[in-house]
Amino acid sequence: MSVFFKQNRVLIFAFALLLAGSLFFGWNTFQHTAHYRAASQDSSVEAWMTTRYIAHTWRLPRETMESLGFERQSDGPRPLSKIADERGVPVDTVIAEVEAAIAAHLAEMTQ
Amino acid sequence: MRRFFELVATYGVWVVGVSSFLSCLLVPIPTALVMLAGGAFAASGDLSLMAVLGAAYAGALLGDQTGFRIGRAFGSRLINLAERRPKVQDRFAKARDMVSEKGGPAVFFSTWLLAPLGPWVNIAAGAGGLNGVTFTLWDAAGEAIWVGFYVLVGYTFASDIQSLANILSNAVGFVVAGVLTLGFGVLLLRRWRARETV
């Protein structure tokens, strides 16, 4: 046994490492799958999202986004971070505005 | 993760193409996540689905071809070195035979199922003297699966790409580590048996 171990030290070490990696990634996959959530259920708007993506995810009518003063995009995507830059305000301000609009839209829907 | 989503949101399909190209050349970019985002922004109407698919596919094919050619150029130097030593030359010839015979399917699976190993396999295929046409055909088939899967999953489940990105990146790690664990396990078992018969 010990001779075999000595001769294959590197191989055994690599095997153990890979086995640990498999267990780690396997467990993580399981965890993330178990806690699966759609963004719309999470109701957290983030800086990387474009106005169209937000409208798509929360199924908002076009007017909701337009009422926020985001000009209708002519071409190409615009994430909230870019809109915040253009307006010269922190991105959290824009996110708060969008979240309020979504909440208002949802309240309207449930009435 | 969010930084890459934001890059796609800001610069569009170019990010998808460039990241797909670079990740085939060992640059550590999570192109799977970039393709998910590309698909999602296609679903929301920000990008064109065909453009996202095309950019990712073109980037991947170009990247793989580059890796293959680097391997080929580098490989011939290795061969020159090996030819000076008879023992090494013998092993080298065996390795080359294996690549020529079984290299195609290896390239195929390394483009999608075991994507993190892809760049290495491309270089090895080039160095091992795999036929260029064989490489290109297997590679094109495999990359179509890789690109198609991630972009279309992003497109279909656009609202969920954050959760999906977490699941998929861990699942890829699991499959790659699992396959390598099995491979090393089989090798160890063989050695163990060989030892017992001595």
Task: Report the residue of B117, B156, B166, B182 to disrupt the A interface, i.e. the one with the largest count of A CBs within 10 Å.
Answer: B166
Work out the number of other CB atoms within 10 angstroms of the CB of residue B96: 18
Considering only the beta carbons, identify the residue of A7, A18, A40 that sits closest to B177: A18
Rounded CA gap, B101 and B98, in Å?
5
Percent of chain A's residues with pLDDT above 70: 86
**Is the model's pLDDT at B192 over the cut of 70?**
yes
Collapsing DSSP to helix, strand or coil, A79 comes out as strand
User: What's the whole-model pTM score?
Assistant: 0.85
Among A64-73, B40-49, B154-163, the range scoring the smallest mean pLDDT is A64-73
* Residues of chain B that touch chain A, judged by Cβ-Cβ distance less than 8 Å: 2-3, 5-6, 8-10, 12, 40-41, 43-47, 158-163, 166-167, 170-171, 173-174, 177-178, 180-181, 184-185, 187-188, 191-192, 195
Interface of A with B in 44-63 (CB under 8 A): 46-50, 52-53, 55-57
Task: Report the residue of B47, B162, B172, B182 to disrupt the A interface, i.e. the one with the largest count of A CBs within 10 Å.
Answer: B162
Collapsing DSSP to helix, strand or coil, B126 comes out as helix
Buried b (16+ CB within 10 A) or exposed e, A85-95: eeeeeebeebb
Rounded CA gap, A33 and B170, in Å?
10
Q: What is the pLDDT of residues B115-149, one digit of tens each?
A: 888 888 898 898 888 899 999 999 999 999 999 99
pLDDT of res. A11: 87
**Chain B residues closer than 8 Å to A46 by CB:** 2
Task: Using CA coordinates, name the residue in chain B closest to A35.
Answer: B163
Whether residue A5 lies within 8 A of chain B, CB to CB, comes out as: no
CB pairs under 8 A between A and B: 119
**Chain A residues closer than 8 Å to B182 by CB:** none
Whether residue A37 lies within 8 A of chain B, CB to CB, comes out as: yes
Whether residue A18 lies within 8 A of chain B, CB to CB, comes out as: yes
Task: Using CA coordinates, name the residue in chain A closest to B7.
Answer: A48
Q: First-to-last CA distance in chain B?
A: 53
Q: What is the pLDDT of residues A54-75, one digit of tens each?
A: 989 888 887 777 777 676 555 6
Q: What is the pLDDT of residues B62-85, one digit of tens each?
A: 999 999 999 988 877 777 776 677
Q: What is the pLDDT of residues B103-112, one digit of tens each?
A: 889 899 988 8
Give start and end residues of each alpha helix (H) in chain B.
2-11, 13-23, 31-43, 49-82, 86-111, 118-127, 132-156, 161-197
Burial class (CB in 10 A: 0-12, 13-18, 19+), B122: buried
Mean pLDDT of A39-66: 81
**Chain A residues closer than 8 Å to B43 by CB:** 56
Closest CA relative to residue A105, chosen from A33, A39, A57: A57
**Is the model's pLDDT at A1 over the cut of 70?**
no
**Chain B residues closer than 8 Å to A48 by CB:** 2-3, 5-6, 9
